[in-house]
Amino acid sequence: MSATPTAEELYKYIGLAFEQAKSDPILLEKLSNIPGVFEILTTEPDGSMIIDMPNLTAVPGAADGKADCTFRMTGEYANRFWQGDLNLTMAVMRGDIGMAGNMKIVAKAINAQTKLFPTYIELLKKDGRTDLLVK
């Protein structure tokens, strides 16, 4: 099993993945056309992140009720998701992840976000954080 990232590491690597997507014309078009703001609340460690799909940003903070969807999960599950090692639908159905909000937007966003998984993994490898890799 991989180590669990800190909240700051999740902010860093997820945020950097979105930043890198801005320089890829295909990813930029695919991701920025998804409407929606997502709030990711993590436990173990405690953290809060806002992912703004049209603006391709992922930053620490709370949505203050303005999110189209809110996810609640452990830091381990967030790390696994961003590496493509977690079936979000199954995790929600099992109760491992809490989700509330606009499911239509979620479906579009999840499909688009999978394109960022290789970037997230490469960022971990580049920083020598192989301890956070799940595969």
The pLDDT tens digits for 5-57 are: 999 999 999 999 999 999 999 888 888 899 899 999 999 999 999 999 999 99
Q: Return the SS3 of 116.
A: helix
Burial label for 72, CB within 10 Å (0-12, 13-18, 19+), is: middle
- Report the pLDDT averaged over residues 96-124: 92
pLDDT recorded at residue 1: 58
What is the torsional sign of CA 110, 102, 36, 33? positive
User: Which tokens is 112 given?
Assistant: 């688009």
User: Which tokens is 123 given?
Assistant: 């960022």
Average pLDDT score, the chain: 92
End-to-end CA separation in angstroms for the chain = 9
Q: Are 75 and 134 in contact (CB under 8 A)?
A: no
pLDDT recorded at residue 42: 96
What does each C-alpha distance from 47 to 43, 122, 126 come to in angstroms?
A: 7, 23, 24
pLDDT above 80 (res 70): yes
Rounded to two decimals, the pTM is 0.91
Report the share of the chain in percent with pLDDT over 90.
75
